[in-house]
Amino acid sequence: MNSFFTPILSLFSTSSQEAASFSLEGFRAYLSNFSLLEQFLSLVDIAIVALILYYAFLFIRGTKASKIVYGILFLILVVFLGRLLNLRTLNWVLGHLATMVVVAIPVVFQPELRRGLERLGRSKFLSKTYFLSDRKLARIVQEVVKALKILKTNKVGALIVIERQTGLGEYLESGTKLNADLTSELILNIFFPNSPLHDGAIIIQGDKIAAASCVLPLDESKTTYTYGTRHRAALGISENADAVVLVVSEERGVVSIVVNGQIKENVDFADLEARLIKLLAK
């Protein structure tokens, strides 16, 4: 009887061994693939962190926050050296100081953090100009440029803010709401002397002049003290929002464009028209 079952038992034994061998090889292959996956994810992780640091550096470069960041980097270096050399007193002081720095960062960097989060959350679908056809956008730009030419010739001061992705609702509330169709004639009527709305800025949303006589935040950096109130207001709003701002100097009759805290003075009207279409296009 045993001799009869011996071949059958050996068959089952062989099959079990092969199955076990197959399972073991599959498990080893799975572990090998998992290791490769971990390596790939580590590379992706490093790349994401590097990109975040790179764009953070680009964002703060040239701003008031950059000097503070250099100070924080210096403190990090001192902490590293303190722990490396086991300087207990210094480590204790820096440990408590680090807590204060973490609490102070949101307060000190409040404008930069706000601007960064606004840029992160922007969507083209929220833009008032997104829904405009190319023909209508070109007409709006032509109307604005036409008004700027006349204002420049007559040396009439003007401040025009064109909304893009960042909403300007808080600044609309400071002025007189119009919600009127945008025309060069209306712009001229607003800014010419003795008009009740000529002080302050007009805000354009899409193809409408949403409000006039709006109050804008002034840029407080010392480098802008040589500019007049209109130019400082243009710089101030462009640092708080992604709006395109146009300024006509009352004294010099010079037209300037301000975007993202950068001002370009005495612009050529042909270049200005092309740049406005590019900035406001979808």
Q: Between the CA of residue 154 and those of 25, 145, 151, 250, what are the distances in Å? A: 86, 14, 5, 9
Identify the H or E element spanning 135.
helix 134-153
* Residue 220 near residue 100, CB atoms below 8 Å: no
Checking if the pLDDT of 227 tops 60, the result is: yes
Average pLDDT over residues 5-28: 50
Quick one: tokens of 50? 């590097």
Contacting residues for 208 by C-beta, under 8 A, at least 6 apart: 178, 179, 180, 181, 182
Distance in angstroms (rounded) separating the CA atoms of residues 130 and 10: 76
For residue 71, pLDDT beyond 80: no
pLDDT in the model for residue 28? 58
- Token pair of 128 as six digits: 């008032």
Q: How far apart are CA 148 and CA 272, in angstroms?
A: 10
Q: Which residues are CB-neighbours of 264 under 8 A, at least 6 positions away?
A: 256, 257, 258
What pLDDT score does 61 carry? 62
Structure confidence by residue, pLDDT tens digits, 108-137 = 777 667 666 665 655 444 455 555 678 888
- Weakest mean pLDDT among 89-98, 175-184, 251-260, 261-270: 89-98
Q: Is residue 214 classed as helix, strand or coil in its secondary structure?
A: strand
Number of helices and strands (H, E) in the chain?
9, 7
CB 84 within 8 A of CB 94: no
Is 106 in contact with 117 (CB distance < 8 Å)?
no
Per-residue pLDDT at 23: 56
Per the CB < 8 A criterion, the answer to whether 187 and 143 are in contact is yes
Q: For 155-179, what is the mean pLDDT? A: 91
Average pLDDT, the chain: 80
Average pLDDT over residues 64-73: 71
Mean pLDDT of 17-41: 60
Q: Which residue has the higher pLDDT, 48 or 14?
A: 48
Lowest-pLDDT choice from 114-128, 198-212, 215-229: 114-128
Q: Does residue 15 carry a pLDDT above 60?
A: no
Distance between CA atoms of residues 140 and 162, nearest Å: 11
Q: Which pLDDT belongs to residue 101?
A: 75
| Fold adopted by 126-280 | YojJ-like (1 (3.40.1700)
Top mean pLDDT of 124-133, 215-224, 228-237 is at 228-237
Specify the pLDDT at position 79. Answer: 82
Q: Where are the domains of the chain?
A: 126-280
What pTM value is reported for the model? Answer: 0.61
